[in-house]
Amino acid sequence: MSEPRTYRKDTSAAPRGYSSWEAAGLLWLAEAEEDGGASIAELRDVDTTHIDLVQYAPAPATNLAADEFGAALAATHAAGAPAFGAPPARWSSHGFIGPGESPMPMPVEPTQTWGAFFAEQRIRHLLRAGRAKGLWEEEGELFEQVAARLESGEFDDGRPPARIHGDLWAGNVLWTSSGAVLIDPAAHGGHPETDLAMLLLFTAPHIARIIAAYDEAAPLADGWQERVGLHQLFPVMVHAVIFGGGYVRQSVEMARKYA
């Protein structure tokens, strides 16, 4: 049987450490595969200038593949993490999120509660990054109010930290003949609703079936639909800082719902 082909992701334009961060996330998420977790792109090699992965042949997303992916993602989350905000194993610095050529540094510091983690290391961190670029000059208090509600524990539900992909938009799910394969993680200990909200933000194929299968495998907490926008505020703020444009207005509108 011939060796599978290799896909080389060029990371030469990324900040130092980016490729190692991504590799650590891939390996950490892949640990859950033995227990039914989602399939993770197989790492072949990593260097400061590239990441080599097995190259997968694309195939249409099917209902069955979506069902299997939803259940598998629940198993990945169930593999857990040492704390909210905890980085992947083999990693001890800050993380990154965003396009490979210009990713944003993101904190990954273990925190006692999800709300405190999301408030400080996601909402406030991005608010500071955005204001340094002249964004949200008049709306800063709005985002601070969201962070204060998070920090108060209002959105904490007592669930333990999940092992999440962290950047699970539709483009980071490869559909192959053997099902979904995940790439480009920003993995950390987080809330499982964050990954699901990302899949909903840019509407992954068969999203309703993915969510239903996930919910059957690991029942979602009451009111999760009302919190989708709260989790989506993070990636929309990332897009606002990196790309500007309509994402700035969208982030303000989303923040207003949770302020």
**What is the extent of the structural domain holding 231?**
56-258
Q: What CATH number did the domain enclosing 241 receive?
A: 3.90.1200.10
Going from the C-alpha of 135 to that of each of 140, 230, 241, the distances in angstroms are 9, 19, 8
Going from the C-alpha of 4 to that of each of 7, 31, 59, 239, the distances in angstroms are 10, 21, 16, 34
- Is 42 a member of any domain? no
Residue of 67, 167, 184, 195 with catalytic role:
167
What pLDDT was estimated at residue 26? 98
What pLDDT was estimated at residue 102? 85
CA distance 139 to 118: 19
CA distance 68 to 38: 9
Residues 142 and 130: beta-carbon distance below 8 Å: no
- Is 166 a member of any domain? yes
Q: Structural domain tally of the chain?
A: 1
Task: Give the Cβ contact number of residue 199 at 10 Å.
Answer: 23
- Is 218 a member of any domain? yes
- Is 87 a member of any domain? yes
3-state secondary structure of 182: strand
Strand pairing report for 6-10 and 95-97: unpaired
Residues recorded for the chain: 259
> pLDDT per residue over 163-202, tens digit each?
999 999 999 999 999 999 999 999 999 999 999 999 999 8
What pLDDT was estimated at residue 115? 98
Strand pairing report for 50-54 and 95-97: unpaired
Residues 187 and 163: beta-carbon distance below 8 Å: yes
- Is 73 a member of any domain? yes
- Is 13 a member of any domain? no
Q: Which two tokens stand for residue 74?
A: 């629940």
Q: Which two tokens stand for residue 16?
A: 């130092």
CA distance 196 to 9: 26
Among all chains, which residue has been given the structure tokens 């990713």?
103
What pLDDT was estimated at residue 4? 81
| pLDDT tens digit at each of 259 positions of the chain | 567 899 999 999 999 999 999 999 999 999 999 999 999 999 999 999 999 999 999 999 999 999 999 999 999 999 999 999 999 998 999 999 988 888 999 999 999 999 999 999 999 999 999 999 999 999 999 999 999 999 999 999 999 999 999 999 999 999 999 999 999 999 999 999 999 999 999 899 999 999 999 999 999 999 999 999 999 999 999 999 999 999 999 999 999 999 9
Strand ranges inside the chain, DSSP E: 6-10, 39-40, 43-46, 50-54, 95-97, 104-106, 162-164, 173-176, 179-182, 188-190
- Is 142 a member of any domain? yes
- Is 185 a member of any domain? yes
CA distance 120 to 137: 18
- Global pTM reads 0.96
CA distance 20 to 28: 12
Is position 167 annotated as part of the catalytic site?
Answer: yes
What pLDDT was estimated at residue 1? 53
